[in-house]
Structure 1
Amino acid sequence: MSRKIMPLIVMYFALLAAPALGETVTLREAVHRALESNNLLKAASFQRGAAEQEVAVSKSRYLPRVQAESGVVLSNTPSSVFMMKLDEGRINPSGDFAADTLNNPSPRADFRTSVSLEQPLFDLGIGNGVRMADKNAQAADLSLQGRREEVAFRVYLAYLGVRRAQAYCSIADQALANAKEHDRLAGLREKDGLGLKSDRLRTATALSEAEQRLVSAQNDLLLSRMRLNLAAGGEQGGALDIGELPEIKEPALPQQDLVALAQQSRPDLKADETSVQLGELAVRQARDAYFPTVYARGAYQINDRDLPLGMDKDSWNLGVNLRWELFDGARRSHEKTKAELSRKAAAAVLENDRREVALQVTESVLRRQEALLRLESARRAVQDAEEGVRLVALRFGNGLSPLVELMDAEAALNRSRASLVEVENNLLASTGEVYFRAGVFLKEVIQ
């Protein structure tokens, strides 16, 4: 009784775990969705926007700064009280210059309102700041480009993951059908007295294992569809199904040309070059810190004894100020040395990354060649396994081979089919990785 109920329970849970069919998309559609909705790309886009705003912030230092200020002061300090009267135009020569009035004035309030303006005339730090902010914006844009390549490649791998899971699910489903048939035949042979009980036990065990493998394959298929949905920027808990096999043409360039293409196209290498340029600008900024700065200033002021914004008297001033720091404890010298060392460090990182990129391209080409060779071997293995199953099935039908031998042959066939699926997926993945390492994967996918 339990032998009949157990498979039903397993199949029930398999149906619960089976993935609901999601929307079907092609690889190009999935990549386009990711470019529009992927949260990592949105974050990189926001960072680029913030860097562009930093450029605008730096450029704003060229413009005049205007400030308005209004306040009230209450004091009995002799100098303050005298200046309040002077600013308000309320000096009385007959009484305010008396010794007692000057030395012991009564408490007095002053309402002061002013508008001031400051305009840079010569400040090399502003120009350097603008140039550095512009380089940072370029770096943020390159980071976004690199993120787009990375997200597109992730979508591609997730797409291949769904393909693999579908194939494994189909293999598991076929294995379950074979196991059911074997169990049925073993039962009939045992009933007719032609088979052994051990064969029936073996087929029952194989049937249970096949049911469990199918449940795992179905779960893997659901998860792979959800991963594709996540990579494409879909809603939480959603799933996407693949519509067609991804087709990316075989790389036409030789290995050395692919390396050269990567050196020119990889956004991360361009970002490294930008870091070197930023280092050069930092050195220039440290050198320019030795020069003086010149600013023009002006202010308009009104004072009143009784009212805010009142105007007992108004006044103004204009001037030009030159500031030249002659000694700072060798701070600027150390900052200049620091900037030069940082620039050399960025240059060393750039050189290392160039070599690393060349190695990555070389490895991707070799892995693809390896996958091509393995593909032929895997296809031959499937053909041989299919022929082996056919021959064993004939012998079994003629009573020359036991059922166990047929089961072993079919298990070997399923393993070779799964191996072929893996090798095919590796070939597709390695082909995409060649373009990804060359920095042109997105261009190849969406063209």
Structure 2
Amino acid sequence: MNIKAITGLGLALLSGGSLLGQGGLTVAESIRKAWTDQAGLRAGQAMVESRQAEAEGYRDLRLPSLTLQAQGIRTSEPMMAFGIKLNQARIGAADFNPLVLNHPDPIGAYGGSAVLQQPLYAGGRITAARRAGDYLALAEAASQERRKQETAQAVVEAYFGTQVAEQALLWVEDSRAWIQGLEDFVGARVEQGLMLESELQRLKAFHAQIEAQKAEVTKQVRSARSGLGLLTGTGPVEGPLATPLEPTDPAAPLPSGARGDLLAADLQAKAAGEGAKAARGNLLPEVGLELGAGTLHHSWSDKGNWTWAAVGVKWKVFSAPDRAKAKAARAQERAARDLRDFRQQQAEHEIRVAREGVLAAQARHAAAKESLAAATEAKRLREARHRAGLAPLIEVLDAEAAVQGARTLLLQSLFELRVSRAGLDLATGHPIEGVKP
């Protein structure tokens, strides 16, 4: 059997089974294993959790901040020494002596303070940052869903690709059994002097070619199962694959659903818009409230206490870096919106191509089935004529080659049909093989 054509399927041969799967791992189970066990998707989920944690941080910007400070100090610096005594509430008349003021003795103190700061107005930066964080977290979650669907499509290619390889191996075995039987028949005729020795040698050469094909397909099957294990995160897959290669239900035209990548692009555009608002907020005034209390001790009982409350306004009337950042943020917002529009157009193109691909795959599959039926019948007739001595051996071998080619086309058409249907689901945003998270 000419398996070189099947080799053209390349790395797509990554799953196992026959045309009719019988018990074992289903494609739906393989997809779910990939979603839960694949390290790449687990890394994507960690990114989702990271974005969610960042969003929590942005939401907490509106909360007050509390700062606690403890300190101990010993100094003879004149201003600090006087200030420390003042904060300790133990200034006396002698402390105003110029000699003491100019050359104080070293003084020690310990104490602490607590400061509560509450932003009241920040030019909209806090609200914009909170919304941007929420949008980015949602966008990452949508991207993760898209990555899961892309992985599901890869699993479909892997799963049914191995079924192609394993069915090819079964047909190679059929060809080996057939050629062995024909070789025995021709060998007997050669011994009887009814056929030439060259006929037997030709059959042996054909037999050797089939043995080489078997070795190649066996390698593909093992590589395929290892590849499926890589996708599912479980190591090389063993045992039978249960889902049939040939679809059991017709492909129905489905309307476009919600694609994770398009949802992520829209959310990222919204986040960029909020980022532009936050950048503009840097050019506006900000208002804050501060409450504090402090204490400074000379000893446990000899100390000073104080409190304060303040409302302040700060406004960068002109800041060239902040103006540049605001301009850059507006450009990023435009870029995000344009990218969202382009991805929508790209998705519409992918849907059109995927639908045409399914129709073409269905037509090729129907033609391949007819070709195999015709080639099989032609081989049967030529083999019967050869056994009756009415046709040369070369016609039988040509008929076998035609059957092998038709089998290859059938396997390839089935694989393309299954993969094209998965591609249509991916393009339209529907669950691949009907598997939902």
TM-score (norm 1): 0.86
Gaps of 5+ in 2: 1-15
Letter in 2 for 1:318: A
Shift of 1:444: 3.0
Separation of aligned partners in 2, 1:252 and 1:191: 60
User: 1:422 Cα deviation (Å)?
Assistant: 0.7
Counterpart of 1:348, as a letter, is D
Deviation at 1:130, TM superposition (A): 0.5
Matching of residues 354-369 of structure 1 within 5 Å: 354-369=344-359
Q: How many equivalent residue pairs?
A: 416
Structure 2 residue corresponding to 1:328, chosen from 319, 323, 347: 319
Tell me the CA shift for residue 311 of structure 1.
6.0
Please tell me whether the aligned partners of residues 283 and 318 of structure 2 are also in contact (alpha carbons under 8 angstroms). Answer: no
Structure 1 residues 278 and 446: CA distance shift in structure 2, 3 A: closer
What aligned pairs does 1:52-201 form with structure 2 within 5 A after superposition? Answer: 52-94=52-94, 96-123=95-122, 124-201=124-201
Give matches, 1:11-26, under 5 Å. 24-26=24-26
Which contiguous aligned blocks of 4+ residues in structure 1 show a shift greater than 4 angstroms? none
Query: 1: distance between equivalents of 2:109 and 2:53?
Result: 41
Question: Deviation string for 1:83-110 (max 9, x for gaps)?
Answer: 122122232322x222221112222322
- The answer as to 2:336 corresponding to 1:346 is yes
Contact kept? 1:279, 1:339, Cα under 8 Å: yes
Q: Is the 8 A contact 1:226 1:239 kept in 2?
A: no
For 2:296 and 2:362, locate their aligned partners in 1 and report how far apart those are by CA, in whole Å.
88
- Change in Cα spacing, 1:295 to 1:191, as seen in structure 2 (3 Å) is same
2:11 is matched with none
CA offsets per residue over residues 319-377 of structure 1, 9 Å max, x none? Answer: 11211111113x33322322222222122212221221111111111112211222222
Is the Cα contact below 8 Å between 1:55 and 1:137 reproduced in 2?
Answer: yes
Give, in angstroms, the shift of residue 222 of structure 1: 2.4
Rounded Cα–Cα distance in structure 1 between residues aligned with 2:248 and 2:140 = 29
Which of 266, 269, 278 is the equivalent residue of 1:285? 278
Q: TM-score, normalised by structure 2?
A: 0.88
Alignment pair present for 1:275 and 2:274? no
3-state SS of paired residue (1:315): strand
Provide structure 1 residue ranges, at least 5 long, that are not aligned to the other structure. Answer: 1-18
Distance 1:77 1:248 in 2: 91
Amino acid at match of 2:167: A
Corresponding residue of 1:416: 406
Q: Distance in 2 between matches of 1:48 and 1:217?
A: 41
CA-CA distance at 1:23 after TM superposition? 8.6
Q: Look up the match of 1:435.
A: 425
Identity level (%): 22
Deviation per CA, 1:306-325, whole angstroms, max 9, x where unpaired?
67xx8622222221121111
C-alpha distance after superposition, 1:182-240 (max 9, x if no partner): 33334333333333333333222222221221122122222222333333332x34435
Name the amino acid aligned to 2:150.
Answer: E
Cα distance in 2 for residues equivalent to 1:303 and 1:443: 72
**Equivalent residue letter for 1:305:** H
- CA distance in 1: counterparts of 2:394 and 2:248, whole angstroms: 43
Question: Offset of 1:68 from its aligned partner?
Answer: 1.4
Task: Tell me, yes or no, if the aligned pair for 2:295 and 2:305 is still in contact at 8 Å.
Answer: yes
Conserved in 1, the CA contact under 8 Å of 2:422 and 2:433? no
CA contact (8 A) 1:248 1:445 kept: no
Report the more deviating stretch, 25-34 or 289-298: 25-34
Q: Which amino acid aligns with 1:160?
A: F
1:364-403 correspondence runs (5 A): 364-403=354-393
Asked if the contact 2:225–2:236 (Cα under 8 Å) also holds between the matched residues in 1, the reply is no
SS in 2 for 1:291: coil
SS at match of 1:25: coil
Cα distance 1:351–1:413, how it changes in 2: closer, same or farther (>3 A)?
same
**Deviation string for 1:118-151 (max 9, x for gaps)?**
1111222111110100100110121122122212
SS of aligned partner of 1:143: helix
One-letter code aligned to 1:266: R
Q: Which secondary structure does the structure 2 equivalent of 1:242 belong to?
A: coil
CA–CA separation in structure 2 for the residues paired with 1:248 and 1:362 = 24
SS in 1 for 2:233: coil
- Quickly say closer, same or farther: Cα 1:410–1:367, change in 2 above 3 A: same
Letter in 2 for 1:283: A
Q: Tell me, what secondary structure is at the counterpart of 1:285? A: helix
Aligned equivalents of 1:366 and 1:435: distance in 2? 13
CA offset digits 1:385-444 (Å, max 9, x no partner) = 112211211121111223333222112211211111111221122122212110113483
Aligned partners of 2:125 and 2:277 also within 8 Å: no
